[in-house]
Amino acid sequence: MSSENFNDEYWMQLAYVQAALAAAQGEIPVGAILVSNGQVIGAGYNAPIKLSDPTAHAEIQALRAACLSLNNYRLPEDTTLYVTLEPCTMCVGALIHARVQRVVFATTEPKAGSLVSARQLLDSGYYNHKFVFEQGCLQAQCSLQLSEFFKQRRNEKKKIRSSKTSLND
């Protein structure tokens, strides 16, 4: 398949796979892919627990991989980030500094999303670089992945609480 046949859904599916890697390690399932000239230049998944690093969000991991491979903190002009969850304030700042041109995210993040949800950072007028963004690509699939992860986590916590209660009886 030639790179001309790859569309947003194709690249977001790769980000979804990255998110599954995070979930398999007990991390919140967020995945990111950076694409330039029809090629993946960086990939990452959420790993703050595994790496003991609060900045190890999927977007940051993908940016680090791309910048290291290109030996430049600024990314090519045609770079698009595909991420399964709306970026937070920290990640939006990093995307601005790296000069990402376009961001496609699957689902919103009501508490920390910084493009359309909790904040609209690009509307602030503070930044000398802005990127275009689109939302909703594979939204149902990525939202379900997050919901199922948190449902499983809640069920595990209930089991722990009920086993502690049983021991105290």
Helix axis angle, 8-24 to 58-70, nearest 10°: 110
Burial of 12 from C-beta contacts in 10 A (0-12 / 13-18 / 19+): buried
Q: Cα–Cα distance between 133 and 92 in angstroms, integer?
A: 11
**Among the listed residues 11, 54, 8, 48, the one whose alpha carbon sits nearest the alpha carbon of residue 29:** 48
Rg of the chain's alpha carbons, rounded to an integer? 17
Token pair for 5: 């046949």
**Among the listed residues 67, 137, 53, the one whose alpha carbon sits nearest the alpha carbon of residue 95:** 67
Tell me: is residue 91 an annotated ligand-binding position.
yes
User: Is 4 noted as a catalytic residue in this protein?
Assistant: no
Which alpha helices (H) appear in the chain, and where do they start and end?
Answer: 8-24, 48-51, 58-70, 89-98, 139-168
Annotated catalytic residue within 59, 77, 109, 148: 59
Tell me: is residue 137 an annotated ligand-binding position.
no
* Binding-site residues from annotation for Zn(2+): 57, 88, 91
Active site residues: 59
